[in-house]
Structure 1
Amino acid sequence: MSQSSPVDPAKDAAARAAVALVQNGMKLGLGTGSTANIFVDRLAERVHAEGMDLICASTSKATAEQARGLGLVVEDLNDIGWLDLTIDGADEVDPDLNLIKGGGAAHLREKIVATASDRMVVVADQGKVVDRLGAFKLPVEVIAFGWKTTRRQIERALERLELADRPVILREKDGQPVITDEGNLILDLDLGQIPDAPQLARALSAIAGVVEHGLFLDICNLAIIGRADGSVVELEREDLQ
């Protein structure tokens, strides 16, 4: 196991249920984050126990390193082409299976991998399920060049959407800006609540300097929600239409 501390039972339950969805011969997308890390560990256990033949694409350098260290085959998405399934975590999941992702600063690659898959499955604990997105700060990946101007453009867009005076914060770690795997910066939008997620997604995508935002709308097909008692609840987007 790659975890040095005890594994959260809710996250572990979701990860184990997701591993059961994997079939031999699949081309599989591997997510990033605490629950996704547990999934990778559990997947490796099953692959070695059953001699499964999988090809994996990773959503981050950290996940790729973890997976290769566990003996999984990880290749470049360009070489794989299309994926059968991506399993990833989420920072928030709403009743329609719309997501906020990017707490691990990997949402650009995560969205590329998720949308290059037949299905995207989210693994999460009950605490990630919300009635409406927005309590978790919305990550927006931006080009370093002119990032302060980009931040002002984002603030103006929020004003037009009646989200004025919401903090737009440069993400830092140890006093230094967080740099993504693609060499970009992250701005975290402290919105509290998002009244119209599709409208906000369109507004952010239209801003020069914005590379990608952490709103994953109409992408997730299934959410496996782990509970502290080791049980899981499965939410399918088709059930909610």
Structure 2
Amino acid sequence: FLSVVVVRGEREIGKNCNISQLSRQKWVFSGKIRRVMRITTAPGEQQHQQQPIRGAMAPAKLNYRISVSTFFAKSHPSDECCGSNGLPLTPNSIGIYGRSQKLKGEALRHENLCQYLDVVRGKHERTIIVQEYAGSPLTETFIGENNKQETLLRVGFQVLRALDHLNREGLMCRNLEPVHILISRDFGVKLYNYGLYYMTHSGKYVSFPIGNVKYHAPEVLLGSRENPKSDIWSLGMILAE
């Protein structure tokens, strides 16, 4: 079960909503987020009714948005159920959950980083990530031609501050792309989804690739050992684009 669900770009929230029901129900804050409406939508149909939910709680900040993402950890092969010591292998989802605790710590609080709020381990190796979502993606942000260079420098500087803070804490993003750079109305920047590479142990705990190959540094594409300079390359590609 999820305690809070908000879809990107909208003030949509789910309260005590089962993950399997997310395709059928959305929870939307109305007005100044003092009342919650439940919109029930059958698959393939338009919304047809709204019902107020009594006792629903609104967040403390009116501009505070939350995103929820989910993925499955890679299962161990059936013929490798035990390690060399004869003990059962630890499921990769537990490894992800353990490493994710660092992302929720006070040490990673920074004005240019979206905060990780919770990580939930579900059934069948499912992991659910609840994270702050503040602003709009760089891909959806209009930058005027008159002050384009100044704005890009401001955005790049804030991304560098976020990457520097991650590096000081022993992390690297390795998942930097325009959709993970969130821009506020006053061009404040927050990095989003920067902890996926770390929590999955450099991608070893999942079966899907992490990051956008379009922005990967050469050493990443060659399979060499990554370093923080790889994130700088990705940022340069984004700004040049």
Same fold, TM-score > 0.5, yes or no:
no
Higher RCO (CA 8 Å, separation ≥ 6 residues): 1
Larger radius of gyration: 2
> Normalising by structure 2, what TM-score?
0.29
